[in-house]
A and B are shown apart, each in its own frame.
Chain A
Amino acid sequence: MVKIENLCLDMGAFKLNGVNLEIARGACHAIVGPTGSGKTLLLETIIGIQKIKSGRVVIGGKDVTALSPSLRNISYVPQDICLFPHMKVIDNIMYGVKVRKIDPAPLKPFIDELIEFLNISAILERYPAGLSGGEKQRAAIVRALAARPDLMILDEPFSAIDSALREDARRLLKELSASHAITSLIVTHDIDEAYFLADEISVLISGSIVQSGERDDIYNYPKNHAAAEFLGVRNIYDALVVKVFEKSIEAALDSGRSINITCGCARSKFAAGQKIKCAVRSEAVYILKEGTDFFDKINCFDASIQKIYTRGKMHTVICALAGGIKIEIDIHDAAFNKLKLALEKKIKISINPDNIFMVN
């Protein structure tokens, strides 16, 4: 178990404000946040490169806060990979074993297994300069794991890899983490990468963790407006609670249109007259077939298509509801063609109340 307790750092213009994290043994935790949120700085404080103002780093019950980076047994793969350019790949891999003066014999089967798993046996005698981004990345991961660290930290691990190879690299890391029970902390601004790799996710914004929890929880229920925006929620609205029912509330959007949401989804208690922010993911809004009747459906609205953006087989449709409220809808190519969507077309949309959540 790795515990980061109330970690504070003051760099003058930038601060880390009481960061708390817990990473279970063998788990992968991702820290996500926009550029400039302090992700790399947080990693550097955990590694021990930056001097902290207060707080503790505890690994396996041992407080390592006062220890130098060389004694913490935390390995680090930086964003720019940083294989030592004057050493062959094999010397890079064995660097930690050599400087720690560890007997390499007991570690050899493990290192050989890693080399085999990450398929770098052909490049062991080569210098980093001639390697591809993916090969460098895999070599750096083996180097980081060779001396069996308690925690492996990866900073934007796939940013230096071509997008075509990135998915393979992610899968390989996920399989490696699972098969070898590697405790890892990953920093990324790519939310899809975090959802794919991590068991738990923390959202870091302006030096503070605004939300931390299980991957699905973070995905489904971002708590904070900034976190929701960063996590790709593009439909966020100011609203006023009109009526409170047993399992739902009725809230009026700014324009006066009302939508229903369920309390179970909102995870909070509300009172009539309360100001709230409600949000819905663009993939959770449905476009109804032409001719569908509204009678037995709630949260159904007339809309007109204003813009369409296409990315491969996915389309983002931006619609205007009555009252000028904009809503973004992600829809797959097949459905898009079936519904014959086009600019300025009048459509009907529906939002499942369970898919609406509250943000602070």
Chain B
Amino acid sequence: MRFKKIAVLAAFSLFIFYFILLASLFTIVEPAKLSAILKSERFYYSIKISFITAFVTTALSVAIAVPAAYALSRSDFRFKPAVDLFLELPLIISPIALGALLLLFFNTGAGLFIQNNLCGFVYEIPGIIIAQFVTSAGVATRLIKAAIDEIPPRYEFVARTLGAGEFKSFYTITLPLAKNSIIAAAVLTFAKCVGEFGATVTLAGAMPMKTETLPIAIYLRLSNADIEGAAVFILTLLALGFTVTLITRMFLKVRHG
């Protein structure tokens, strides 16, 4: 009984810690300044570029993560452990290191060819997308794989004996059953992309009104000692974070019994 009380105290102390941090923001921001920043073009640009790049990256990540997660969950193939290991990279390697890795790649022959002939990434908006993709695709795959792992393969076996081919059984059975988890994974991926900083600043730079995503806007304002401005952007990210968490929980709760 005493241990339970200590455990509850630990959980509550975490809540208090975050609550104090959050409350401190409101002591910094004055309503007049908040209003001015919210009406500024730069604020809307940051929101717009963050959302557009995060949306594109989430779409790309989920499009690749769903079949990749299915393969990792259902198939045994050569180098599967290696593929599985590489998906852990974004979790164990610093985003700055991943961004630097991209930057170094775009200075190799192949990278320069892509830069010069296909699409510019370094200090460009597509650089934000690829930086977000490198840090989020593995996480999306992990989340979706966990969802597919929970669905017994027997559903597909049964579907196949009833006449469905491999893709049809995936499309009509596994995908609908994993739908809520995939949406939840997409929402979390989107949030991770919006909040991505390390890889983005390393590859796409911190250029106002160009590669100025919300985290980069916070970084730029802190660099210029604009504490109130930084606080407004932090509040914006927090609001987004809470919204995403609520949406994710809603989708994870809605399950077909």
Contacts and interface: CB of A to CB of B under 8 A. Distances in A.
Interface string B156-191: 011111111110100011001100000000000000
Contacts, number: 75
Q: How large is the interface on A (under 10, 10 to 19, 20 to 34, 35 or more residues)?
A: 20 to 34
Interface stretch (A69-77, A112-120, A160-168): A69-77
A interface SS class = mixed
A336 interface: no
Interface stretch (A27-35, A92-100, A229-237, A282-290): A92-100
Contacts of B256: 85-86, 127, 129
B160 A49 contact: yes
Interface string A27-63: 0000000000000000010011100000000000000
B4 interface: no
Contact of B157 (A44, A72, A149): A44
B154 interface: yes
Contact of B155 (A84, A143, A149): A84
Contacts of B31: none
B163 A82 contact: no
Interface in A86-133: 86, 95-96, 99-100, 127-130
A68 interface: yes
A147 B162 CA distance: 8
A72 B162 contact: no
A99 B161 contact: no
A333 interface: no
B109 interface: no
Contacts of A129: 256-257
27 contacts: A47-B157, A47-B161, A49-B160, A68-B160, A68-B166, A70-B160, A70-B161, A70-B162, A70-B163, A70-B164, A72-B161, A75-B161, A76-B157, A78-B154, A78-B158, A80-B152, A84-B155, A84-B159, A84-B173, A85-B177, A96-B162, A96-B163, A99-B159, A127-B256, A127-B257, A129-B256, A147-B163
Which 6 A-B pairs rank lowest in CB-CB distance, beginning with the nearest? A129-B257, A96-B162, A100-B163, A69-B160, A76-B161, A99-B164
Interface of A: 44, 47-49, 68-70, 72, 74-78, 80, 82, 84-86, 95-96, 99-100, 127-130, 143-144, 147, 149, 153
